[in-house]
Amino acid sequence: MRKFGLIGFPLSHSFSKKFFTEKFLNEHIPDCEYDLFPIESIDLLPELISQNVGLEGINVTIPYKLAVLPFLNEVDEAADQIGAVNCISIQNENGKKLLKGYNTDAYGFEESLKPMLNEQHKKALVFGDGGAAKAVKYVLNKLNIPFIVVTRTPTSNSILYDAVTPELLQEYTVLINTTPLGMSPNIESCPDIPYEVLTEGHLAYDLVYNPEETTFLAKSKAHGASTKNGLEMLYLQAERSWYIWNT
């Protein structure tokens, strides 16, 4: 039996388990199972791997995307530059288990963003600068899209929301929400920007996918902007994990 799973804490609900269980069933992939491993400390990872002989791959979620790094033998370029891992492949080599880390969030975001971009989308505003923003910033750099990070508290690398003026929005036409604003159950919240100046030339992308249309997306769409939520990114990053585990 080939085993895969998700580490994090707590793991009260999991997209990954549902996704892979249904994938194995619908695509007639035999002898595979996907389990949840809610470990209370990342220090328990080596024990978890040794106890699960057939474990070939792990997804990583909060709070271990950074904490897992010292336990890995290798990381790919994206994960190294982002500084966060959400996918691990486990391979046996000369009787030892070798762990390589990847960041499939970056792949998922890039592949879901690119079809939305056009010649008007030359610069971006990134709302929030937490863990979710790491992959977004990596992809924007890769695509040569200059960006400004917008935060609620002052930092040396960001501007505040009150600096997002109509004039700035004329130039920065890609708007990406990496914060939990608008996520269920707080569905009324959204980044505090002058939505009334948005146009058909703007693209609003929200990493939040519950609800499917956040207040941020609804307000942007009302003024003509193209919109997209993070659901396709979620599916793409999961499929990328499966690709990594099978190559």
* pLDDT tens-place values along the chain, 247 residues long: 999 999 999 997 789 999 999 999 999 999 999 999 999 999 999 999 999 989 999 999 989 999 999 999 999 999 999 999 999 999 998 889 999 999 999 999 999 999 999 999 999 999 999 888 999 999 999 999 999 999 999 999 999 999 999 999 999 999 999 999 999 999 999 999 999 999 999 999 999 999 999 999 999 999 999 999 999 999 999 999 999 999 9
- pLDDT at position 131 is 85
Q: How many CB atoms lie within 10 A of CB 196?
A: 10
CATH node for 106-233: 3.40.50.720
Contacts for 50-55: CB closer than 8 Å, 24+ residues apart = 50/97, 52/3, 52/5, 54/1, 54/2, 54/3, 55/3, 55/4, 55/5, 55/90
Domain 2-102 of CATH type 2.40.50.140? no
Cα separation, 97 vs 94, whole angstroms:
8
- pLDDT at position 138 is 98
pTM > 0.85:
yes
Residues of the chain with CATH 3.40.50.10860: 2-102
Judge residue 179's burial from the number of C-beta atoms within 10 Å of its C-beta, 0-12 exposed, 13-18 middle, 19 or more buried.
Answer: buried
CA atoms within 13 A on the CB side of 134: 17
- pLDDT at position 155 is 92
Cα separation, 11 vs 30, whole angstroms:
26
Token pair recorded at residue 110:
């890039």
- pLDDT at position 122 is 96
Alpha-carbon distance values, 41 to 62, 65, 68 (Å): 11, 12, 10
Look up tokens 């939305």; give the residue.
116
Residues of the chain with CATH 3.40.50.720: 106-233
Q: How many CB atoms lie within 10 A of CB 28?
A: 6
CB distance 124 to 110 below 8 Å: no
- pLDDT at position 58 is 98
Q: Looking at the annotation, which residues are catalytic?
A: 65
